[in-house]
Amino acid sequence: MNTNLLNNIAFDIVKDKVIEDKVKEYTEEQQREAEEALRENRKDEENEGDEYPDIEDPDSEEERIMQKELMKRKEQYDHLVEKENKKKSQKYGTYKDIIETEFLDTMLKNENVVCHFYHNDFDRCKIMDKHMKIIAETHPDTLFVRINAERTPFFTTKLQVKVFYDF
């Protein structure tokens, strides 16, 4: 049999296994995070009554409503603070280079991602880079990355990245 064909088949099997492993790793990580969040919520619920030990239960319906509204607003505020901290840690609003080994992690761990497969010899890619930098600053909720298409043959073939010429 043709050695080239065998090499291609082996390469396809290995790359599919790598992708499968990354997806499995990501789902396991998501599950661990969800379990941890559930444990924290349970701890918070157990400690909820200890927060204000001197305050008795509300006497009137109005006080109950006020306490519920206060807790609701506190949760909303905590959620917003957590969301902002997450954005700051992920460096959204910037345009950065990644390499092939970071590609899957970047795509799976971030909700909104724009990836530009570039080639150093193409002027259109340089123009695109200029515009992507501008857009990245105006969209802080999205992660903008670029990856060298020449150095990532696996993903360019798997994702069928094409170059369009203007004749």
CA atoms of 64 and 57, how far apart (whole Å): 8
Arithmetic mean of pLDDT, 25-33: 86
pLDDT of residue 134: 92
pLDDT at 27 over 50: yes
pLDDT of residue 57: 62
Please report the sign of the dihedral spanned by the C-alpha atoms of residue 91, residue 92, residue 97, residue 99: positive
- Are the C-beta atoms of 136 and 105 separated by less than 8 Å? no
Query: What pLDDT band is residue 167 in, cutting at 50, 70 and 90?
Result: very low
Arithmetic mean of pLDDT, 15-33: 85
Percent of the chain with pLDDT over 70: 84
pLDDT of residue 43: 74
Which residues does 51 contact at the CB level (< 8 Å), separation at least 6?
none
Q: What is the pLDDT of residues 140-159, one digit of tens each?
A: 888 899 999 999 989 988 99
For the chain, list the strands marked E by DSSP: 95-97, 113-118, 143-148
Q: Is this model's pTM higher than 0.75 or not?
A: no
CA atoms of 41 and 75, how far apart (whole Å): 12
Q: What is the pLDDT of residues 53-92, one digit of tens each?
A: 445 566 788 888 888 888 888 888 888 888 777 666 656 7
- Are the C-beta atoms of 60 and 142 separated by less than 8 Å? no
Domain definitions of the chain by residue range: 1-44, 93-167
pLDDT of residue 80: 83
Sheet holding 95-97, edge to edge: 95-97, 143-148, 113-118
CATH number corresponding to 93-167? 3.40.30.10
Structure tokens at 126: 């340089």
